[in-house]
Amino acid sequence: MISKSNFNFMKKNKFNILLLTFLMAGFTFTSCENEDDATGDSVVIVNSGAAAIEAVTPGLVFSATNNVNEGGIDRTLEYAVTLQDVQPVDIYVTVTLASGDAVEGDDFDFDHQVIIPAFTKRGVGTVTIYGDNETESTETFTLKIGDFNDPNVSFPGANLAFNITDFGDLNLVLDWNTTFVFSGVELTLCDIGYDVDYFLLDAEGNDVSGFQSATGACPEEMTISMADVEDGEYELIMSIYDDAGLASVAITPAFEIKTTVNYTRDNSSFSGSFMQDSADAFDSNFGSDPGNASPHYVATLKVENGLYTFSKNGSTIATGKLANLKNKIAAKNANRGKKPSYFN
């Protein structure tokens, strides 16, 4: 016979078991329901991956062949692939060697993939041209950027072509000599010891030639190596260190004293000559200027990827450049003598 207390205990246990069963069933149902609700909650989806390519290194082009001179210096060039919209996954743009006789690993190297990290728009690829000490003929190679099978990116692709040259030093002969008549006698500026100095200035007013063309020689010469100059623009200027007394005799009419720049480059067909513009030239009435207080512009030399280009901008030389140069010239010329006037 079951006592009343035992009956109440059994009744209570049945109720607890039943309640626990309902709770477990509810938990299972809720868990399944929450799992289903999470589907499709992502707010970023893979899009078409439209992308474009652009140069990072100034002067790098995709529409024509890039000419790069070794010059004994390694050069790294950069370009970028940019997405129109971010992707939720990393994007890999394939880069392959399409053609050429230059040797990868010896003459050049390149990134075989441009990686655009997830949730960013831009990835940068590099090409390195190696500079060595061997004299070589021109070599070529072309890279193909982008592949039809690259996933999650819609990119038409591009070619990046290079000519690797191995040109040497730039050699300048700077000639101001001209003929004139004084008291019925035909003379030349070199005959009378007319002394002109030349300087090749960087953006800070430093003479990158190392004062090669401030020697008293007629004409002056200058040699520029790739190790002397970085990519950029340089101004070739002139000043009259010693006019040999020419200004004092005041020849009438005064005559122009213009510089002819003759240039060649080792292991290259780059050669020629040009004359300073009349607007920038000195005349015979301009006296000695050993402190370089009033130099005149001759030409601009542009250096890009180891290649040289001359132009004549007719520009006024910035005074900030000259302040730096004047101090160095004063130190250099401290013990440099002047010749007596030819006309005394």
332 or 168, which is more confident: 168
Evaluate whether 334 touches 196 at the Cβ level (below 8 Å). Answer: no
- Radius of gyration over every alpha carbon of the chain, rounded to an integer in angstroms: 38
Give the pLDDT band (50/70/90) at residue 313. Answer: confident
pLDDT in tens, 75-92: 999 999 999 999 999 999
Pair of tokens at residue 174: 């700077």
Q: How many other C-beta atoms lie within 10 A of the C-beta of residue 162?
A: 24
Q: Specify the pLDDT at position 7.
A: 42
- Which pairing describes strands 271-275 and 260-265: parallel, antiparallel, or unpaired? antiparallel
- In 10 A of CB 186, how many CB atoms? 9
Task: Kindly state the average pLDDT of the residues 49-64.
Answer: 93
Query: Where residue 168 falls among pLDDT bands split at 50, 70, 90?
Result: confident
Task: Give me the domains of the chain, ranges plus CATH numbers.
Answer: 51-165 (2.60.40.2030), 170-334 (2.60.60)
Does the pTM exceed 0.75? Answer: no
Count the helices and strands in the chain (H runs, E runs). 4, 21
> Using an 8 Å Cβ cutoff, are 300 and 311 in contact?
yes
Residue 5 is predicted with a pLDDT of 47
d(CA 320, CA 163): 38
